Amino acid sequence: MLLRPVGRVISPLKEPSLVAKSGDLARQSRVTRAVESRRVISEVVIDNDLSGIVDGIEDFSHILVLYWAHRVPPEGRSLIKAHPMGRKELPLVGIFATCSPARPNTICATVVRLLERKENVLKVEGLDAIDGSPVVDIKPYNPSYYPASGVKVADWMERIHREFAENFTPGDVSEGNR
C-alpha cells in the first residue's frame, strides 16, 4: 500500500501533546485550552501539482481531514493498550478505543470547520495536527454519511470532554495560548 501526501499542515501546534513512553501514553507538553476547545486555527496547504483538487470544497462548512501523525516514532506504533491521554486514573484500554496518534498506522482524522479557501490553501478551525503533518486526504463532511443517532461514548471519554468544557473560557484561545 502506498500513500501519497496531498499537502501539509501549517499549525501553531509545534509539538505533539502525547507521546508513547514505557509502553503507555504520556503528556509531553501542556495541552492548551485552544486544543481542548478545538479552536486552533490552522492551514491545510495542498500541493501545487494537484491544482483544482479542492475546487468546490468552499461550499461546505466542515471537512474531514485525514493526516499522518509523522512524529510518532516506530516504538510508538507498537502500543496495544494505553491510558487515554496518558491519564493513569482512566482505564487501560486498547489503542483503537482511543483517539491517540500512537497506533500501528498513524492515520488521524478530524472534522474541522472550513473558514476560508484561497486557491490551494484551506484555513480551518479545530485541526489537532501539529505543524508539518502530511495530509493524506480531505473529504467534505456530510452528516448523513456519519449518522449520529444512538451514539454511545465510554464514560471516561465523556469525563474528558466534560472537563475540557468546564475548564474552557473564551479568553484562553488567544494566539499566546496556542
Tell me how far apart the alpha carbons of residues 92 and 98 are, in angstroms, rounded to a whole number. 10
H/E stretch holding 41 reads strand 41-46
175 in any annotated domain: no
> What is the model's pLDDT at position 131?
96
2 in any annotated domain: no
Of 45, 5, 2, residue with least CA distance to 136: 5
Q: How many domains does the chain have?
A: 1
178 in any annotated domain: no
68 in any annotated domain: yes
Four-CA torsion 95, 99, 104, 110, nearest 10 degrees: 160
Mean pLDDT of 108-112: 94
Structural domain range at position 76 = 7-143+153-170
The alpha-helical segments, DSSP class H, found in 40-94 are: none
Tell me the pLDDT tens digit for each residue of 1-47: 899 999 999 999 888 877 887 788 887 755 554 455 478 999 999 99
Tell me the pLDDT tens digit for each residue of 53-83: 999 999 999 999 999 999 988 888 889 999 9
Report the CATH number that the domain containing residue 161 is assigned in CATH.
Answer: 2.40.30.70
